[in-house]
Structure 1
Amino acid sequence: MNRRRRGSVALTLLCATAILTAPVLSGTAFAVPAPVPGAKSLEQVRKEIEELHRQAGAATDAYNQAETETKRQSDQIVSLAKQIAAGQDRITVLKNRVGAAARAQYRSGGLPPGARLVMSSDPAQFLDGADRLRQGEKATADVLTELNRTQADLQQYAKDATAHWQGLEANRLKQEAAKKKIEEKIKAAEELESKLEAEEKARLLQLEREAQYRAQKDWLNSGGMKDVKGAATEAGKLAVRYATAQIGKPYVWGAEGPDSFDCSGLTSQAWLAAGRHIPRTSQEQLRLLPKVPLKDMRPGDLIIYYDDASHVAMYVGDGAMVHAPRSGRDVTIAGAGSMPIKAVVRPDA
């Protein structure tokens, strides 16, 4: 990392530290309109918007998983198609061999060349002919056995291909449903936010940051960072370097860079840059990557959030993490305890 880059990252972490350790926008005053009786408070609106985006995050995970499954099914269908083509070529060769034997029998009056030798009066010729006849019969039987086996394989390949095609279609429908759900949740959140005045939007952002600050403070006060002193591995440093280099790029659901990311798109691409392929979705990252105790957390580890594992971030040290928060927000650094932590997983265990 060059000196300018190190300085940029240091400045970013310094700003993040300020966010994590002091109230946000504490000196800013907003002339918030007086509440209308029966209307939702701005804090209620914030929580509703936050929940809608969290639900959209869960749906994004379902969409990404369907995408992964679709690609896997497609790859398997291509592999089966190649096996079917090779099997058909093999059947053609075997049928030609069987046909050649049949034509030879027809030309010799129904007897193969070996059978004519059996009819010889010379005992030596008879024994030699009998041996050659047995060899010919065995060769023909072997060809027929291989032909039957190859045809059975082709039937199984075709059956498997049909199953994968059905799986592909099911995943396509699953994708469409997940995509529709994401769009509905994001649209509902955007509509809620669009009804706010400019001052209310600014206050909403302040409330969002203050809620994160309170959650982070409570986490730290509960001993969340006690004994957390793990040092990053070389691969972990590369992953953190990649992730922090994306700060300021927008969140877009389903995106894996280079210009935008969703939460698991950021973490999976960061570790890919470090030379390790990990699962694409936060739920699969939780399921397949080794879990580590919170006290053993080190930079580069992934923090899975919420009970449904709908969000993931990368720990960068000093109680901070980098993540792609949600639609309408950019990749940023925040407190590692600013959301409910479900687990910590390690890509380079």
Structure 2
Amino acid sequence: MGTGKRGLLAAAVTAVCAATVLAAPGTAVAAPTPTPTSTPAPTPHTRATRGTTPTPLPDKDLEKVREKLDKLYHDAAVATDAYNAAEEQTEKQSAQIVELARKIVAGQKKLDELKDQAGAAARAQYRNGGLPPTAQFLLSGDPQQFADGAGTVLNGERAAKKLLTERTRLQEQLRRYADDASAQWEKLEANRKQKAAAKKKIKKQITAAEKLESRLEKKQRERLAALEQQSAYEAQTAWLDTGVLKEIKSKASAPGKKAVAFATAQLGKPYVWGAEGPGSFDCSGLTSQAWASAGHPVPRTSQEQWKQLKHVAVKDMRPGDLIIYFGDASHVAMYVGDGAIIHAPRPGRWVTVAGAGSMPILGVVRPDA
């Protein structure tokens, strides 16, 4: 990353994470204050129902509210990963069923052709009288003619046997295709049920979070945003105080630069669960699309990205690598250098820049290893 770009990135990080939140370890800094992007305006579904006034929460309970909201949105993120996984499997199974159906149609056409050929052979044998070779010899007045005919009959018998063998093989293949298609249908239905259950859980968690937030007055929402930012600031500072940023010196690969460029272009777009662009994203939707744009497709979910992609040490990470968060791998962000990430945080937020250490890091994976 060039010096000019690094300066722009540092400025963006400072704007989001508060002044000097990504500064050198050990530097004394002031607590961050809320920024406009940290306090989303209330949406229609978070306002109180007309004619009712929600009971305001006491200010002393705001920290508990923050912890409760974190849990609700974390549970929604886990359910979102389950939804995305089921969606991905549904698409694969649907494609497999279509391919099996194509094979079954082609196989049935070939089987019909074999049946026609077998029928023609049977009719030819009938026209020949169906006599055994000995009887044909005794009735024939020309031994050479019989010998020629016997060779033809022998070739015909071999051809008929080959036809029957091929027909039996093809029938068995069609049965396997049909069994496979039936199994895929069962899996498809199971994944559809998983999607529906995950979708229900997502909506339940988000509705509970919105209901809780609707009880906050404007000043309380601002204070809550400050508490969220304070928590992220303290976590980032603790991470930097380990000296880890001094060890991270790797430069982005060419595909990594493309992935970072894609993620950067999405800044400001809203988080929507299950979304993978172009107008909105969830966390893994953003990272998977960024790397797809760089020519390196990755799994759709953060959990599968953690399972399937190559793990690298934090000190060896480079821009474009994916940082997986929380013990259950329920969140993912893209490292962009200078101790910063770009990610889609949660419902009610937008794709933004944040500190790489602002959440508990599970590990780092590299899509283009």
User: TM-score normalized by structure 2?
Assistant: 0.86
8 A contact 1:239–1:273 mirrored in 2: yes
* 2:114 corresponds to 1:94: yes
Indicate the residue corresponding to 1:15 in structure 2.
15
Q: 1:144 aligns with which of 159, 164, 185?
A: 164
Indicate the residue corresponding to 2:339 in structure 1.
319
Cα distance in 2, alignment partners of residues 168 and 290 from structure 1 = 29
What is the deviation of 1:16? 4.6
What is the deviation of 1:223? 3.1
8 A contact 1:80–1:161 mirrored in 2: yes
Q: 1:49 aligns with which of 47, 56, 69?
A: 69
Aligned length: 339
Indicate the SS of the match to 1:315. strand
What is the deviation of 1:197? 0.6
Q: Which amino acid aligns with 2:318?
A: R
Query: What whole-Å deviation, never above 9, does each CA across 1:141-194 have from its counterpart, x for those lacking one?
Result: 000011111111111111110000011100000000000000001111111111
What is the deviation of 1:134? 1.5
Question: CA RMSD of the aligned region, Å?
Answer: 2.6
Aligned residues: percent identity? 57
8 A contact 2:13–2:355 mirrored in 1: no
Cα distance in 2, alignment partners of residues 118 and 135 from structure 1 = 21
Cα 1:131–1:324, aligned 2, differ >3 Å: closer, same or farther?
A: same
* 2:353 corresponds to 1:345: no
What is the deviation of 1:105? 2.3
Cα 1:323–1:153, aligned 2, differ >3 Å: closer, same or farther?
A: same
Indicate the residue corresponding to 1:266 in structure 2.
286
Cα distance in 2, alignment partners of residues 106 and 45 from structure 1 = 89
Q: Which amino acid aligns with 1:247?
A: L
User: TM-score normalized by structure 1?
Assistant: 0.91
8 A contact 2:34–2:229 mirrored in 1: no
Indicate the residue corresponding to 1:123 in structure 2.
143
Indicate the residue corresponding to 2:267 in structure 1.
247
Could you tell me which runs of 5 or more consecutive residues in structure 1 were left unpaired when the two chains were aligned. 28-33
Cα 1:185–1:119, aligned 2, differ >3 Å: closer, same or farther?
A: farther
Indicate the SS of the match to 2:311. coil
Indicate the residue corresponding to 2:128 in structure 1.
108
Could you tell me which runs of 5 or more consecutive residues in structure 2 were left unpaired when the two chains were aligned. 24-28, 36-55
Cα distance in 2, alignment partners of residues 213 and 12 from structure 1 = 15
Cα distance in 1, alignment partners of residues 22 and 9 from structure 2 = 16
8 A contact 2:306–2:365 mirrored in 1: yes
What is the deviation of 1:43? 0.7
What is the deviation of 1:130? 2.4
Indicate the SS of the match to 1:20. coil
Q: Which amino acid aligns with 2:229?
A: R
Indicate the residue corresponding to 1:296 in structure 2.
316
* 2:315 corresponds to 1:307: no
Cα 1:210–1:157, aligned 2, differ >3 Å: closer, same or farther?
A: same
What is the deviation of 1:49? 0.1
What is the deviation of 1:133? 1.7
8 A contact 2:311–2:363 mirrored in 1: yes
Cα distance in 1, alignment partners of residues 159 and 321 from structure 2 = 61
Indicate the residue corresponding to 1:31 in structure 2.
none
